[in-house]
Amino acid sequence: MAAEVILVIEDDVHIGGLVVQVLREAGFAPALVRDVRAARDWRQEGNTPAAVLSDLMVAGSPGPAQLTAELAEIFQGAPLALMTGVPPRRRAALGVMHERIIEKPFELEALIATIHSMIAAPLP
């Protein structure tokens, strides 16, 4: 059975590299892009992720409040989690209301558990 493809959208080279390494070691097939435009291009090339993991403040985003809608449009049906260091009150002020937030800094085990739960039970 092929490994589940997880698209990681992260513009910080160090964080993106770490997330990709951890996901690969956990048995996933991670793909890393640096911004929303590259994510759109990746999808238009015919790639389909089992899940999408994106930084909230990623380059090329229409804004934090609009990011989830844009990614939902690009990756219809794929579960999405957002990684962020933005505190909950600030996220609320920015209009970010998403069910799956991974707080930076995060435990690597929590990241993997989140990905497993996304694939097992994607949110509607």
SS3 per-residue string spanning 7-71: EEECCCHHHHHHHHHHHHHCCCEEEEECEHHHHHHHHHCCCCCCEEEEECCCECCCCHHHHHHHH
Query: Is a pLDDT exceeding 70 seen at residue 123?
Result: no
The whole-number pLDDT of residue 95 equals 85
Q: What is the pLDDT of residues 4-23, one digit of tens each?
A: 999 999 999 999 999 999 99
CB 30 within 8 A of CB 24: yes
The whole-number pLDDT of residue 59 equals 84
Show the domains of the chain with their CATH numbers: 5-120 (3.40.50.2300)
Look up residue 99 and give its DSSP letter: S
Q: What is the pLDDT of residues 19-59, one digit of tens each?
A: 999 999 999 999 999 999 999 999 999 999 999 999 999 98
120 pLDDT tier (thresholds 50, 70, 90): confident
- Which pair of tokens denotes residue 120? 């097992």
Angle subtended at Cα 26 by Cα 122 and Cα 118, rounded to the nearest 5 degrees: 5
The whole-number pLDDT of residue 1 equals 58
73 pLDDT tier (thresholds 50, 70, 90): very high
Q: Is the model's pTM score more than 0.95?
A: no
Average of per-residue pLDDT values in the chain: 92
Average pLDDT of the segment spanning 88-109? 89
The whole-number pLDDT of residue 60 equals 83
